[in-house]
Amino acid sequence: MTGTRDVLVSACVDGVVTLTINRPAARNALRHQTMGDLADAIEAADADASVRCVVLAGNAKAFAAGADIAEMLELDGPALVQHPRTIAWQRIWATGCPMIAAVEGVAFGGGHELVLSCDIAIAGEAARFGQPEITLGWMPGAGGTQRLARSAGKSMTMQMVLTGDPIDAPTALRVGIVSEIVPAGGALERATAIARRIALHPRAATRLARQAVLNAFETPLSDGVRAEQAAFRALASSDERNARMRAFLHRAAPPPGEPSTE
């Protein structure tokens, strides 16, 4: 385990790196330092060809209870524009590496926006999700209104953003914020199993496929389909695709992927 005080970074095992937010006494509130450390760790994972997937976790009580309110109180609108924490979010969103959130406890405010920034989210059954900023006279500011609307739809997004009331894990599953619920305490294990499954596949294919899915949220349908077809054609020329397809047709074992680093 390496990393900083705020973010613990596991060794890369089977192509998977786990980042653990580590401010348990503050319910993992995301202070500026935490956001910078997360961005550093995610960028490092993205740049490491042996890392195929990142798992993001907290502890049993909190994935993250949002931005650190004490620090945020010191920032007015102009100060936020070029603030390192604003930049840190942009650095996280720029990653090309698949990311899975393993959520136990609360994922509130910026913590929920971090979940929404991941590609897949798995919840322990006691997890809760919310955008309580409105109760502080504020609103989501790290993409929450946009990403939540795109996964949970208008009515649930409005309800969460305008009431500030959290939802439980079964509701989060129903509206598509998470893809699976597991018994409390099991989210990290399940997220890691999914990450290892992703890590078995060729890196270029998983990254391009991920980007193609993300494009669905960025572009009009026709542009998104065009981008998908370009990525699809690029992979059609890859040796790995051809080798795997031939292996399938000949009922042979798939060829080994690129080596993973322990």
6 belongs to the binding site for ligand CO8 (CB under 6 A):
no
167 belongs to the binding site for ligand CO8 (CB under 6 A):
no
Kindly indicate which of the ranges 45-53, 104-112, 199-207, 235-243 contains the residues binding ligand CO8, using the contact rule CB under 6 A: 104-112
Residues designated catalytic: 67, 110, 113, 133
Q: Which residue of this chain has its Cβ atom nearest to ligand CO8 in the complex?
A: 109
15 belongs to the binding site for ligand CO8 (CB under 6 A):
no
Return the residue of 8, 59, 141, 219 that touches ligand CO8, per CB under 6 A. Answer: 141
58 belongs to the binding site for ligand CO8 (CB under 6 A):
no
Return the residue of 4, 22, 86, 151 that touches ligand CO8, per CB under 6 A. Answer: 86
66 belongs to the binding site for ligand CO8 (CB under 6 A):
yes
141 versus 257: smaller Cβ distance to ligand CO8: 141
3-state SS, the chain, equals CEECCCEEECCCECCEEEEEECCHHHCCCECHHHHHHHHHHHHHHHHCCCCCEEEEECCCCEEECCECHHHHHCCCHHHHHCCHHHHHHHHHHCCCCCEEEEECCEEECHHHHHHHHCCEEEEECCCEEECHHHHHCCCCCCCHHHHHHHHHHHHHHHHHHHHCCCEEHHHHHHHCCCCEEECCCCHHHHHHHHHHHHHCCCHHHHHHHHHHHHHHHHCCHHHHHHHHHHHHHHHHCCHHHHHHHHHHHCCCCCCCCCCCCC
Whole-number Cα distances in Å, 59 to 8, 21, 101: 12, 8, 12
110 belongs to the binding site for ligand CO8 (CB under 6 A):
yes
Q: Please report how close the Cβ of residue 254 comes to ligand CO8 at its closest, in angstroms.
A: 43
Q: Please report how close the Cβ of residue 168 comes to ligand CO8 at its closest, in angstroms.
A: 13
Site string for ligand CO8, 200-219 (x = CB under 6 A): --------------------
Q: Please report how close the Cβ of residue 35 comes to ligand CO8 at its closest, in angstroms.
A: 8
The site for ligand CO8 (CB under 6 A) is made up of: 26-27, 29, 65-70, 72, 80, 85-86, 89, 106, 108-110, 132-133, 136, 141-142
